[in-house]
Amino acid sequence: MSDHGHDHPHAPVTSGDEPPAAARARALEDLLVEKRVVRHEDVRQMIDWLVSRTPADGARLVARGWLDPEFEERLLADARAAALELGLDPGPSPRVVAVENTEAVHHLVVCTLCSCYPRALLGPPPDWYKSLPYRSRAVSDPRGVLSEFGVELDDDVELRVLDSTADIRYLVIPRRPPGTEGLSEEELAALVTRDSMIGVAQPLATAPAG
């Protein structure tokens, strides 16, 4: 993240290694196993499933929406159903909501309490998403946060900050880059990054080499 022109002090969004949280999670797992609520094997299987997820599924949803306006309408109406329509696993989240960035509106996703996130469609959240500086400043200074990520919005663009919860997760449909009218769904999906589906970046203008 780059420097920006704010004249007020704050902690950088990228700070905050959280080993105490991991220790608490392990202690909670041990307690639940001791009370026979779960087994270590069940926890390991779920962790293996979570770490196997990548942003590719979310990118495929976005690319299909860019190509097919009727599918995009279904995606915006019910992201879980749209994912299942493409044979994708939307995960156990009770509700996944897709929101669309436009010329007039930009969405930024945060979880102010912890790190709720559509992991099945985007993979594990980045460390900065879980950090306290991001969770607090995304609400108090969202334009400053976007600036640090390299996204500068015009003053007339409405910025909506969406707070994920245990009951609802958000997937941002970024604006389709100009000049991509002739690209295939696979080529378009290669332009969609994890960060653009969180709202802290724009999609790539060209596919990465290799």
Q: For residue 76, give the CATH number of its domain.
A: 3.90.330.10
What CA–CA distance (Å, rounded) separates 83 from 92?
13
H and E: helices and strands count for the chain: 11, 4
114: helix, coil or strand?
coil
Residues 35 and 62 in one domain: no
C-alpha angle 132-135-138 in degrees, rounded to nearest 5: 135
48, 60: one domain: no
pLDDT bucket at 53, cuts 50 / 70 / 90: low
> One of 2, 52, 93, 115 is an active-site residue; which one?
115
Mean pLDDT value of segment 23-33: 79
Which member of 116, 131, 147, 164 is catalytic? 116
In a domain, 28, yes or no: yes
Specify whether 75 is located in the same domain as 118. Answer: yes
**Would 134 be classed as within a structural domain?**
yes
The DSSP annotation for 73-104 comes to HHHHH-HHHHHHHTT----S-S-EEEEE--SS
Pick the more confident residue, 186 or 50.
186
Q: Are 41 and 110 in a shared domain?
A: no
The reported pLDDT for the residue numbered 159 is: 98
Q: Would you say residue 206 lies in a domain?
A: no
pLDDT band at 131 (very low <50, low <70, confident <90, very high): very high
Q: Do 73 and 123 fall within a single domain?
A: yes
Q: Domain range holding 44?
A: 19-52
- Same domain? For 169 and 91 the reply is yes
Q: Does residue 208 belong to any structural domain of this protein?
A: no
Does residue 176 belong to any structural domain of this protein?
yes
Q: How confident is the model at residue 86 (pLDDT cuts 50, 70, 90)?
A: very high
Task: Give me the residue label for tokens 């653009």.
Answer: 196
Determine, yes or no, domain membership for 79.
yes
**What DSSP string runs through the chain?**
-------S----TT----HHHHHHHHHHHHHHHHTTSS-HHHHHHHHHHHHH--THHHHHHHHHHHH-HHHHHHHHH-HHHHHHHTT----S-S-EEEEE--SSEEEEEE-SSS----HHHH-SPPHHHHSHHHHHHHHH-HHHHHHHTT----TTSEEEEEE--SS-EEEEEPPPPTT-TT--HHHHHTT--HHHHHTSSPPPSSPPP-
Which of the following is catalytic: 111, 147, 164, 196?
111
Quick one: what percent of the chain has pLDDT higher than 90? 66
Within-domain flag for 82: yes
Catalytic: 111? yes
* Number of domains composing the chain: 2
Give the residue among 115, 91, 101 at the shortest CA–CA distance from 16: 115
Mean pLDDT of the chain: 87
Tell me the pLDDT tens digit for each residue of 166-199.
Answer: 899 999 999 999 999 999 999 999 999 999 999 9
Q: Helix (H, G, I), strand (E, B), or coil: what is residue 63?
A: helix
**Is there a catalytic annotation at residue 115?**
yes
Q: Is 15 assigned a catalytic role?
A: no
Q: Are residues 132 and 46 part of one domain? A: no
